[in-house]
Amino acid sequence: DGGITQSPKYLFRKEGQNVTLSCEQNLNHDAMYWYRQDPGQGLRLIYYSQIVNDFQKGDIAEGYSVSREKKESFPLTVTSAQKNPTAFYLCASRTGGSPQETQYFGPGTRLLVL
Amino acid sequence: LAKTTQPISMDSYEGQEVNITCSHNNIATNDYITWYQQFPSQGPRFIIQGYKTKVTNEVASLFIPADRKSSTLSLPRVSLSDTAVYYCLVGSSGNTGKLIFGQGTTLQVKP
């Protein structure tokens, strides 16, 4: 059963704490993306990676970090520097070929601050 | 990346055809137009994509005029389960696949 999995579904963060959101795909896609969605808003790009061991900042990268050590995994760490982390986080992937290749999204992780 | 403009919300009734129009005046020559659907607390799902004229699949049609400055997503005979947010996206920043999401159109289907 191919697809993108994100865990956990809900995550609680305490003040000053770093938390890591997991994203795994078994679609053999080269490119992976992290988006943040606030209530009633569209998605905003945090980081993206087009190939293993390489990643680029998106529009709102401050307070976040990523790694891409394996093709199938692209974890996102929300650091204590992110002052307003409460949001819905979505991971996506695509084959990374031509520009019209569509992105496939995971089910999302909702992050809440205690 | 071309900016898109869509209506914030639309209402419809079950069984009706719904047309959602998106404006993208600054679309580039090699940009494609893609529509996604999103249900609450779920990731967006690809609906349809096109470059020009008309594209049809099992769930929707996409109409693109010759100047490509707008596009219309057509959902035939909607049901309550089509209540969702619909996003129109244009372009992908070269080969990065970077997508720019607007606020989308919230479609409410009533019985």
A29 to chain B, any CB pair closer than 8 A? The answer is no
Say whether A31 and B97 touch across the interface (CB within 8 A): yes
What tens digit of pLDDT does each residue of A6-34 get? 999 999 988 889 999 999 999 999 999 99
Helix, strand and coil in chain A, % to nearest 5: 0, 50, 50
B49 to chain A, any CB pair closer than 8 A? The answer is yes
| Residue of chain B with shortest Cα separation from A102 | B46
- Alpha helices per DSSP H over B1-111: none
Average pLDDT, chain B: 91
Say whether A50 and B43 touch across the interface (CB within 8 A): no
A99 → closest Cβ in B30, B43, B103: B30
Which residues of chain B lie closer than 8 angstroms to A95, CB-CB? Answer: none
Compute φ and ψ for A12, nearest 5 degrees.
-115, 135
Say whether A103 and B46 touch across the interface (CB within 8 A): yes
DSSP state of A69: S
Name which of A80, A87, A88 is nearest A106 in CA terms: A88
**Which long-range contacts link A46-52 to residues 24+ away (Cβ below 8 Å)?**
A46/A76, A46/A89, A47/A76, A48/B96, A48/B97, A48/B98, A49/A74, A50/A96, A50/B95, A50/B96, A50/B97, A51/A96
* Burial annotation B50-66 (CB, 10 A radius, 16+ → b, else e): beeeebeeeebbbbbee
A39 to chain B, any CB pair closer than 8 A? The answer is no
- CA-CA-CA-CA torsion for A23, A26, A32, A35, nearest 10 degrees? -40
What tens digit of pLDDT does each residue of A49-96 get? 999 999 999 999 999 999 999 999 999 999 998 989 999 999 999 887
CA distance B79 to chain A (A): 22
What tens digit of pLDDT does each residue of B58-100 get? 999 999 999 999 999 999 999 999 999 999 988 765 566 677 7
Residues in chain B: 111
Say whether A45 and B41 touch across the interface (CB within 8 A): no
Q: Is pLDDT at A101 greater than 90 in this prediction?
A: no
B91 to chain A, any CB pair closer than 8 A? The answer is yes
**In the prediction, which pLDDT does B98 show?**
72
Instruction: Classify the phi-psi angles of B66: left when phi > 0, otherwise alpha if psi is within -120 to 50, otherwise beta.
Output: alpha
A27 to chain B, any CB pair closer than 8 A? The answer is no
Q: Is pLDDT at B1 greater than 60 in this prediction?
A: no
Cα(B104)–Cα(B36) distance, integer angstroms: 9
B97 to chain A, any CB pair closer than 8 A? The answer is yes
